[in-house]
């Protein structure tokens, strides 16, 4: 989800983020094939209903059909399954298979968030941060990002880091931003590494500019998301600012970060 790195400063960016379905859903293994899913879903099994919705939503061995996906998600969501509420919320947000209705999306995200869905908490954080479909409210956005981060979603950690870096609804605190970005990196999120690279490149209160660390974090982000043009450009840009004495140190630290974090990422 590379778009997130530009600080979520505008609505278009928020649309890109919320339309992404890259967040990992964990299908309930209650049915082994379409026929058994249909049979169990028809009997009212909410997990099978969700599975069937996911099959049609993502086009898993069938032609994608958002209308059918929405119908089965709705049945499961009505029974209270949070992941179905979240996925149905995405459909309403984007107008896939149902009329676009951001208020309904918010209601569904809130239902799922109240059950601890970190994905829904993150989506609500974006919407309240940008005022997309809801009145802009930085305090609510931060609250949802923190809940999402606490639930283990690295995107929530990045969101909280961005809020602290920019002072949105909280006192600007670069050290806390570093802490949340690092939390995201530890969970395998390349955006956290990118944002750490940017933070150390520019520097700020409590976090002095450190081009060696900046280069190393951009190298880690590049390893986690190869061929990302912005990361590659900034990695090269920072390297050109390093002194001859700093370059070997930066390469050594970069290799350390790449080894530690570069094996996985999104």
Of 172, 188, 207, the one marking the end of a domain is 172
What pairs with residue 118 in β-bridges?
none
Q: How far apart are CA 69 and CA 228, in angstroms?
A: 33
Both structure tokens of 259: 């080894």
Residues 183 and 155 grouped into a single domain: no
Whether residues 193 and 166 share a domain: the answer is no
Number of domains in the chain: 2
pLDDT value for 180:
98
Last residue of a domain, one of 126, 151, 172: 172
pLDDT given for residue 26 in this prediction: 53
Do 153 and 24 reside in the same domain of the chain? yes
Are 67 and 192 members of one domain? no
Percentage of residues in the chain with pLDDT exceeding 90? 83
What is the pLDDT, as a whole number, of residue 29? Answer: 63
- Statement to judge: residues 160 and 100 lie in one domain: yes
| pLDDT value at residue 262 | 79
Neighbours of 46 (CB within 10 A): 20
b/e burial code for range 72-95 (CB count within 10 A of at least 16 → b): bbbbbbeeebbbbbbbbbbbbbbe
Give the pLDDT of residue 30.
66
**Residue among 257, 256, 214 nearest 236 (CA):** 214
Verify that 137 and 49 share a domain, yes or no: yes
Q: How many residues does the chain have?
A: 266
Say whether pLDDT at 7 is over 70: no
**Structural contact between residues 242 and 251, judged by C-beta atoms closer than 8 angstroms:** no
pLDDT in tens, 29-54: 667 788 989 999 999 999 999 999 99
Contact 141, 119 (CB under 8 A): no
Q: What is the DSSP letter of 2?
A: G
Q: Tell me the per-residue pLDDT of 130-166, one tens digit each, with 9 for 90 and over.
A: 999 999 999 999 999 999 999 999 999 999 999 999 9
Among candidate residues 151, 172, 193, the one where a domain is terminated: 172
Rounded Cα distance, 8 and 15, in Å = 10
The CATH number that applies at residue 141 is: 1.25.40.10
Residues 27 and 114 in one domain: yes
Query: Residue 55 — pLDDT band, cuts 50, 70, 90?
Result: very high
Domain span including residue 130 = 1-172
Q: What is the DSSP string of 192-228?
A: HHHHHHHHHHH-BTTB---HHHHHHHHHHHHHHSTT-
């Amino acid at each position: 989800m590379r778009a997130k790195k530009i600080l979520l400063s505008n609505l278009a960016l928020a649309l890109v983020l919320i339309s992404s379905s890259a967040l990992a859903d964990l299908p309930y293994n209650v049915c082994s094939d379409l026929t058994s899913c249909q049979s169990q879903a028809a009997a009212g099994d909410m997990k099978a209903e969700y599975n069937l919705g996911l099959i049609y939503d993502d086009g898993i061995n069938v032609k994608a059909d958002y209308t059918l996906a929405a119908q089965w998600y709705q049945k499961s969501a009505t029974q209270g399954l949070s992941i179905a509420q979240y996925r149905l919320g995405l459909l309403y947000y984007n107008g896939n298979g149902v009329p676009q209705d951001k208020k309904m999306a918010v209601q569904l995200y809130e239902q799922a968030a109240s059950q601890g869905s970190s994905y829904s908490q993150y989506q609500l954080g974006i919407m309240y941060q940008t005022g997309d479909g809801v009145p802009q409210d930085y305090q609510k956005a931060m609250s949802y990002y923190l809940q999402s981060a606490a639930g283990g979603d690295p995107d929530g950690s990045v969101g909280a880091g961005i809020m602290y870096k920019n002072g949105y609804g909280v006192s600007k605190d670069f050290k806390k931003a570093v802490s949340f970005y690092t939390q995201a990196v530890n969970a395998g999120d390349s955006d956290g590494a990118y944002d750490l690279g940017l933070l150390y490149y520019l520097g700020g209160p409590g976090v002095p500019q450190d081009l060696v660390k900046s280069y190393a974090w951009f190298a880690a982000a590049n390893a986690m998301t190869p061929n990302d043009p912005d990361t590659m450009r900034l990695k090269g840009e920072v390297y050109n600012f390093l002194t001859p004495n700093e370059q070997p140190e930066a390469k050594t630290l970069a290799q350390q970060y790449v080894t530690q974090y570069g094996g996985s990422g999104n």
